[in-house]
Structure 1
Amino acid sequence: MAASSGFVLAGLYILVLSSQSWAAVKVNMEDRVEVSLGQRAEISCLYEMDSDPSTAIIQWFARAPGSNSARQQIYFMENLVRIPQLDSPFTGRITVEERSPGSVVLILDPVQLLDELMFICQVDGKAQGKQEGSTYLRVFRSPEIPRIEKADSGIHINEPDPSKIASCEVRNGYPLPNITWYRDLTPLQVSEGDVGVVNLVTRATNNLFTVRSDLYLKVRKEDKDAAFYCESSYFVPDGMAMTESIRINVTVHYPPTYVQLSRLSTDLVKEGDDVEMICFVDGNPSPPLTFKHNGEDVDGQMLSADQEGVLLRNVKRSDGGTYSCTALDLEALDPDSPELENSLKLQVHYLDPAVVLPEDPMVLFQGADLEATCNAVSSLKTHTVWYKDGRDVSEGHVLRLGNVSLDTSGEYRCVVTTPDLPGLRTEGSLQVLVQGQPQITDVTQEDIELSLSVNLTCVVLGYPIPSITWGSSDQEDFNGLSRDTPILGGVISTLSVKATSTQSFVCEAENEFGKDSRSVMLEPIKPETTPAPATSPSGSVTVKPPRRKVQKEGSGVIIAVLIICVLLLAILGSVLYFLYKKGKIPCGRSGKQDLTKEKSNKDAIVMEMKTDKSDEAVLLQGVNGDRKAP
């Protein structure tokens, strides 16, 4: 009986304990909350209990990370009672909100670096017991952009130990940022005797970190073209970030290994051109250079900001030859070590003046053969073309013409060029004279309507230069003035006469081989015809038209003509009228001759409309000397 009652008591005790565990308070919190410096931080505390959650007592504590650190109460709340701890570092920045039954939130605004602590939420359910949870608040501050600074002086590749080439500084970051060095996108790893990195960390009173990193490197020649920079990596809420500095180039000093002398232009060089030659040396700093031409020193000059060379202006053929550039290595330990040298050959092309043989003038007989040469000494292949009067007549340096005539006379010009170099050109000339009887090629006259004076031109070929003689069908009325202009292989004669009447002019040329002549008929503008009486011994009447053009002599001539006409009309009026009505007026030459004899002023001649071609033939025969005009 006693044993059974003992089992009953034991079961009741276990039932009471189990009922208490079922009614215990449960608290749930985040392990970590991350926020940037100066921002708003929210730490949630979720709890569960069987009774009304609003009856629970909630207290907030803070302590530094670590199990042995003491904690400090910072907030107390029960029902409507809210009591922040007055002497805590959170005073004025802390609030607690009840978002829903069983959910409270601790708010810090703004967050400071000293807020990076463990925040503890304790829930007291009274009869249901106590339970607490914790959240670690992480605070971040992104650092400034890395600033890089390279070494002031250059670094020689022969330095035995790594040399400091640059410094990188990252300021005001939290937590501590990390610095990584790069060379051409490749991170540099610390290596003894090759790469070294020294970091210096400082923490300001505001708890922000500043990191300075110095890079030491044993430089190589290839590093002169490398780009160095540093990278800062740091934590931010929910991840990591990184920023890079600007790229820098390191000044690397190294001895020269080769020298190259080159000409900027690849075109052929001719006399008169400007030539520029550049000497490139890979040493840094650039070593002293020496320039020579065919073994003799020549002046060098700076042709660009960092290159030295030779500049030749208006070159001559004597400037051609071998040019060399020698670099002196001042750091060479052995004074007998060979110098670095490079050379090039410069050829200056030329074309001498053309030489024409035989020398002009070249005199030939008609029917002979002509052969002449035109040569010019050149450094290139030449091409020769012969021209006469602007037209090409032959190609090649030899000019050959067979069975020459008077038309062959003239100036022949040879032009010599170099097809490979169009800028070279020279030319020469040859005067050719063909002996023979004169030959008149053309006799022309000006437009008579323009003036009472007209020029007649006679072009004659022949050598020796013929003498020119002008004649007229009316020798008594021939008042012309001629002038002769010699041309190559002939002459041009110009005769200036007054166009007073229709007459024929003859140009006659003569030299020791013979003569030639040609005539031209000068016919002034035909005047208008009006009836005018005239008498002759045979009883015929000739009607002469007045002149169309105004005479230059003035009003005196006009008055004289009017007086003569009035006298003729008064004496012969009746006879003319009777004969005119009967149609018996004869048109003979005797009447014309009588009428012209009565005129006293020679300049007032009135021209007649000619219709008889036989008269012109008689006049031409008289001028040519075959027979006289009647």
Structure 2
Amino acid sequence: MHWFALLTCILTVSLVNQVSSLETVSANYGETVTIPCNKGLVKAEDVTITKWKYDKGNILVKLRDQNATVLDDVNYKTRVSLKDDFSLVITKVTMDDQRTFTCITVVSADILEFPVQLAINKAPSPPQITEQATVMEIGKLTTVAECRTEGANPAANITWFKNKTPLASDGTAIKISQAVDVDSVTKLSATTSKLEYAAVKEDVNAKFTCRVQHVRSADMESSPLNFTVNYPTEKVSLQVVSQGPFKEGDNVTLKCTADGNPPPPIYNFYIKGEKKTVENSNTYTLRNITRADTGEYKCSLVDGEDMVDTAQITVDYLEVVLSSTGKINKKVGESFEITLDIDGSGTTQTSWRKGNAKLEKAPKFDKLKYSDSGVYGCVVSMGGLKKTQTFELIVEGAPVIKSLINKKGDGTMNKVLICVGEGSPKPTVQWSINGTNVDETAYVDGKITYSLTLIPKVNLTVSCTVSNDLGSDIRSINVSTFADDVTMDKQDMKQEQSEQTTMVVGIVVGLLVAALAVGLAYWLYLKKFRTGTWKTGEKEDGSAEESKKLEENQSQKADV
């Protein structure tokens, strides 16, 4: 290859007539890049020789009308090729390819040089958190964590954030240090940033993150960092956990909390003046409280009893006592009154009922009746408390037959006897004769009705006897046969007709006598007035005084 040596000599000693300005081409790490030559400034048919080189050696040479010859450079022998427009193609670029490549062309008597700078880009890896702190103390500068990203070119930048707000070093409470390392083999950069931070109490729930920023990739942010912030207790609080209002018999739980972190493992509770120390818990439960438990309660730290807080507990109570309870037996006609004694911690409301019926006021009876028997109850309420008291009033009395009647039955020969009794306990009945359809009504308000159906063959007297534990009563009634009833009905009709006739005659006679009396009285009246007043055919010669006397006499007669 003597021609190659000759060409190299010519290109070395020849004077370069034109040098273009330095151009930059970018390529991604590991990919294929095309580096242009002269950008069309020189026509391909005018070029007799083309050569590509770099600062450490020659890459390839091409003579006109011949194929390009790749030289024995170990870096590019297997990775380069030449395009028709003399552009250089390099595959699998690495950081070692980030250099200046020069395209030399011979045109006529001129030698032209076109240098191109190749820049290699590589996106960094996602952020990696190391050396993370788990506990921080207020005011003490502590390493929060280190954030690292690798395999980048150019080197990536790292920014720290607290609650999405960027942090900047201030030299005291915040210190951020960043370092870039280059891998000796790959020549790629790794960026490491360390955050030192002096926590404050408000950082208990703060979220710290680091963000990797690079020209060839989108920003990448780490997961939030969590750690515990320790700080001393400044305040103790006592809370009544159980929901009030409280009543006697309830359980009430108290909870003591301190605002320090970590919280104290032990507390003092002051229960009615007595100190109770509780370990590994911050609660204390009062069980089955009474009204005596109403008052002030306290809690404090064991190693700082001056840090104390208080809470007030009020226990509501309600007691209801009836003057009489259970079953109350009274005699019919007696008086009875119930009284209610209420002892409560607040204003109460009372309602009364008899069975399911509401009463306007407490039961009070001047004279008991059987209908007053029943179950009475009162409900006394106060806030969430409610007390119910009941009693059963039983009005008793010896039975009395209120009525005993005889009426015709449904059949032509039947008679139905109805005996109405009243008493308490419920009276039983005894008939003096047997019959059919023996029945009784419901026993209501001390009253019951018994019935007996019979067909009398002869006239007879039937007795009804009602009795209970307090006494008995008997009443009898005459029961006639059906034939006697017919005869009696006819006699009753005749007697009724006779009585009606007699009554009519008496009325007529009475009317005639009254008419005669009225006529006679009227005739006498007219006769008297005419006799004392006028004289037919005679002249009135009397004096004024006589006339006056005459008028007075007539007036007196009229009054009579």
Is TM > 0.5 for Structure 1 vs Structure 2?
yes
Matched residue type, 2:215: F
Check if 1:164 corresponds to 2:133.
Answer: no
Matched residue type, 1:425: K
How many angstroms does 1:78 deviate by? 2.0
Alignment of 1:154-303 (within 5 A): 154-159=135-140, 162-204=141-183, 205-236=185-216, 241-264=218-241, 266-287=243-264, 288-298=266-276, 300=278
**C-alpha contact (below 8 Å) 1:351/1:426 kept by paired residues:** no
* Corresponding position of 1:31: 23
How many angstroms does 1:254 deviate by? 0.6
User: What are the superposed Cα offsets for residues 88-146 of structure 1, whole Å, 9 maximum, x if unpaired?
Assistant: 41221111111xxxx3321111111211111212222132x122222221112222211
Query: Residue 378 of structure 2: SS of its match in structure 1?
Result: strand
**C-alpha contact (below 8 Å) 1:258/1:340 kept by paired residues:** yes
**C-alpha contact (below 8 Å) 2:121/2:153 kept by paired residues:** yes
**C-alpha contact (below 8 Å) 2:211/2:220 kept by paired residues:** yes
How many angstroms does 1:255 deviate by? 0.7
How many angstroms does 1:310 deviate by? 2.6
**C-alpha contact (below 8 Å) 1:231/1:244 kept by paired residues:** yes
Alignment of 1:232-381 (within 5 A): 232-236=212-216, 241-264=218-241, 266-287=243-264, 288-298=266-276, 300=278, 308-328=282-302, 339-357=306-324, 361=328, 363=330, 366=333, 370-381=336-347
How many angstroms does 1:317 deviate by? 3.6
Matched residue type, 1:291: F
Paired positions, count: 451
* Corresponding position of 2:501: none
* Corresponding position of 1:78: 63
Measured in 2, the distance between the counterparts of 1:324 and 1:253 equals 26
Q: Provide TM-score, normalisation by structure 2.
A: 0.68
Residue ranges of structure 1 left out of the alignment (5+ in a row): 1-23, 64-70, 330-336, 443-456, 522-588, 590-610, 618-630
Over 3 Å counting, the alpha-carbon distance change for 1:72 and 1:344 in structure 2 is same
Over 3 Å counting, the alpha-carbon distance change for 1:116 and 1:461 in structure 2 is farther
How many angstroms does 1:378 deviate by? 2.4
**C-alpha contact (below 8 Å) 2:372/2:393 kept by paired residues:** no
Alignment of 1:53-64 (within 5 A): 53-63=45-55
How many angstroms does 1:405 deviate by? 2.3
User: What are the superposed Cα offsets for residues 243-273 of structure 1, whole Å, 9 maximum, x if unpaired?
Assistant: 1111112321111122222234544223344
User: What are the superposed Cα offsets for residues 462-483 of structure 1, whole Å, 9 maximum, x if unpaired?
Assistant: 46x5864512423xx89x9x9x
Alignment of 1:12-31 (within 5 A): 31=23
* Corresponding position of 1:91: 77
Measured in 2, the distance between the counterparts of 1:612 and 1:29 equals 157
Query: Residue 81 of structure 1: SS of its match in structure 2?
Result: coil
User: What are the superposed Cα offsets for residues 487-534 of structure 1, whole Å, 9 maximum, x if unpaired?
Assistant: 999699999x9x9x8799945137879847799x9xxxxxxxxxxxxx
Query: Residue 255 of structure 1: SS of its match in structure 2?
Result: coil
Matched residue type, 1:218: A
**C-alpha contact (below 8 Å) 1:59/1:75 kept by paired residues:** yes
Over 3 Å counting, the alpha-carbon distance change for 1:441 and 1:153 in structure 2 is farther
Measured in 1, the distance between the counterparts of 2:42 and 2:215 equals 42
User: What are the superposed Cα offsets for residues 323-377 of structure 1, whole Å, 9 maximum, x if unpaired?
Assistant: 3221346xxxxxxx762222211223233244335996363652x6543222332
User: What are the superposed Cα offsets for residues 44-97 of structure 1, whole Å, 9 maximum, x if unpaired?
Assistant: 22355687635332211223xxxxxxx522121222230122224122111111
Matched residue type, 1:470: Q
Measured in 2, the distance between the counterparts of 1:228 and 1:195 equals 13
Measured in 2, the distance between the counterparts of 1:440 and 1:149 equals 107
Measured in 2, the distance between the counterparts of 1:401 and 1:72 equals 132
Query: Residue 352 of structure 2: SS of its match in structure 1?
Result: strand
Measured in 2, the distance between the counterparts of 1:187 and 1:412 equals 78
* Corresponding position of 1:10: none
How many angstroms does 1:318 deviate by? 4.0
User: What are the superposed Cα offsets for residues 355-412 of structure 1, whole Å, 9 maximum, x if unpaired?
Assistant: 335996363652x6543222332223322222223322234xx333455423123332
Measured in 1, the distance between the counterparts of 2:403 and 2:202 equals 86
**C-alpha contact (below 8 Å) 2:369/2:395 kept by paired residues:** no
Check if 1:508 corresponds to 2:490.
Answer: no
Matched residue type, 1:208: L
Matched residue type, 1:41: V
* Corresponding position of 1:42: 34
**C-alpha contact (below 8 Å) 1:412/1:432 kept by paired residues:** no
Measured in 1, the distance between the counterparts of 2:309 and 2:474 equals 77
**C-alpha contact (below 8 Å) 2:29/2:120 kept by paired residues:** yes
* Corresponding position of 2:89: 107
Over 3 Å counting, the alpha-carbon distance change for 1:38 and 1:399 in structure 2 is same
User: What are the superposed Cα offsets for residues 528-582 of structure 1, whole Å, 9 maximum, x if unpaired?
Assistant: xxxxxxxxxxxxxxxxxxxxxxxxxxxxxxxxxxxxxxxxxxxxxxxxxxxxxxx
Over 3 Å counting, the alpha-carbon distance change for 1:105 and 1:314 in structure 2 is farther
Measured in 1, the distance between the counterparts of 2:157 and 2:347 equals 74
**C-alpha contact (below 8 Å) 1:94/1:109 kept by paired residues:** yes
Matched residue type, 1:429: F
Over 3 Å counting, the alpha-carbon distance change for 1:121 and 1:357 in structure 2 is same
Alignment of 1:535-614 (within 5 A): 614=485
Over 3 Å counting, the alpha-carbon distance change for 1:392 and 1:30 in structure 2 is farther
* Corresponding position of 1:412: 376
Measured in 2, the distance between the counterparts of 1:77 and 1:441 equals 149
**C-alpha contact (below 8 Å) 2:47/2:105 kept by paired residues:** no
Query: Residue 361 of structure 1: SS of its match in structure 2?
Result: strand
Measured in 1, the distance between the counterparts of 2:18 and 2:119 equals 25
Larger radius of gyration: 2
Measured in 1, the distance between the counterparts of 2:40 and 2:468 equals 148
Over 3 Å counting, the alpha-carbon distance change for 1:75 and 1:417 in structure 2 is same
Matched residue type, 2:235: Y
Range 210-219 or range 400-409, more displaced? 400-409
Query: Cα RMSD between the aligned structures?
Result: 4.4
Q: Provide TM-score, normalisation by structure 1.
A: 0.61
Over 3 Å counting, the alpha-carbon distance change for 1:251 and 1:184 in structure 2 is same
**C-alpha contact (below 8 Å) 1:434/1:489 kept by paired residues:** no
Measured in 2, the distance between the counterparts of 1:426 and 1:379 equals 17
Query: Residue 190 of structure 1: SS of its match in structure 2?
Result: coil
How many angstroms does 1:176 deviate by? 2.0
Measured in 2, the distance between the counterparts of 1:30 and 1:217 equals 47
**C-alpha contact (below 8 Å) 2:397/2:470 kept by paired residues:** no
Query: Residue 224 of structure 1: SS of its match in structure 2?
Result: helix
Measured in 2, the distance between the counterparts of 1:274 and 1:324 equals 17
How many angstroms does 1:425 deviate by? 3.0
How many angstroms does 1:322 deviate by? 2.3
Matched residue type, 2:314: Q
Matched residue type, 2:351: V
Check if 1:131 corresponds to 2:118.
Answer: no
Residue ranges of structure 2 left out of the alignment (5+ in a row): 1-15, 405-417, 457-461, 489-560
Check if 1:471 corresponds to 2:450.
Answer: no
Over 3 Å counting, the alpha-carbon distance change for 1:295 and 1:90 in structure 2 is farther
**C-alpha contact (below 8 Å) 1:29/1:45 kept by paired residues:** no
